Homo-oligomer: A and B are copies of this chain.
């Protein structure tokens, strides 16, 4: 067995760990629960033991392990490898995470935020393959993302580039969790899509979604797209609002970084063409007329493993740069 790379997706409730070969083919993956108040030292030890167990279980030696990549929620100082804060990991305040992991593992470690790691995964092995300029969106509870420009991940001055869900598209519009009004995330994340439907029903709108709320106590974006397919008028209105917000985001990214491809990922893309075609429809409705645009708007292909794949791809990249 030759070179091995580890990719880790550090979430709020689970650590996903993947073991990859030199072609970034997944050899083995596992998922370990974590408590939100886990201490940094305990987290580092947990990661260390998980990697050692994976290697042992797969008859791999530590000498084959080249490097480890981590994608995580939170704020970072990437140059120094610090996790400054993390809403999901309450004990992480200015933690020298990379240094701690390098000391525990004895291997190179690269850390990036989860949106960037997933973006790099999709760029390296997914829909972004062969493209040097791309924009990547994740549509989940919130809207995150990453930007590749001229083949490089954009990080920005404070490692805070590509906070794409917080681009304001409707100033003085809906309140976002971040404190701003009118963020794209307040309209078009999976959570906001469901929330807007729920609010409309609470305000008296007639909809087949009402029965689902009465049965389940809540609705999800999945319900909205299912009822849209079944012909529900409110579901259509809500889905149109989501698509229009995402289309405005696409136009604003086109005029900013001029990507060849804009890629949507995350749970909500399971809706399929009924979502993608709508985004394209509103893109064409709002885009300028002074020249034709050829940007490709499409869905990601790597699925739920994109986080560990991207982290492993980052791990491989730092080895190549040496």
Interface residues of chain A, those whose CB is within 8 Å of chain B, are 75, 131-133, 147, 149-150, 152, 154-164, 166-171, 176, 178-181, 244, 248, 251-253, 255-260, 286-291, 294-295
Contact = CB atoms under 8 A, between A and B. Distances in A.
A181 to B, nearest CB: 7
A163 to B, nearest CB: 4
Contacts of A288: 166, 176, 178-180
The listed residue with most B CB atoms (<10 A of its CB), out of A152, A159, A178, is A178
B133 A156 contact: yes
A248 B182 CA distance: 11
A187 B256 CA distance: 18
A75 B180 contact: no
A180 B282 CA distance: 12
B248 A168 contact: yes
Copies of this protein in the assembly total 2
A149 B162 CA distance: 12
A159 to B, nearest CB: 7
Nearest to A295: B157
Contacts of A176: 288
A245 to B, nearest CB: 9
Given A253-B256, A256-B256, A257-B256, A286 B158 contact: no
Contacts of A75: 291
Given A75-B291, A248-B168, A257 B179 contact: no
Question: In terms of DSSP, what is the predominant structure of the interface of chain A?
Answer: loop
Given A133-B156, A150-B152, A244-B171, A164 B256 contact: yes
12 contacts: A131-B157, A149-B154, A149-B161, A161-B257, A161-B258, A162-B255, A166-B255, A166-B288, A170-B171, A178-B290, A180-B287, A253-B256
Contacts of A164: 255-256
Contacts of A170: 171
A178 B289 contact: yes
B161 A256 contact: yes
Nearest to A259: B157
Nearest to A258: B156
Nearest to A160: B258
A84 to B, nearest CB: 9
A258 B180 contact: no
A131 to B, nearest CB: 8
Contact of A157 (B155, B178, B258): B258
Contacts of A158: 258, 260, 294
A171 B244 CA distance: 9
B167 A255 contact: yes
Contacts of A291: 75
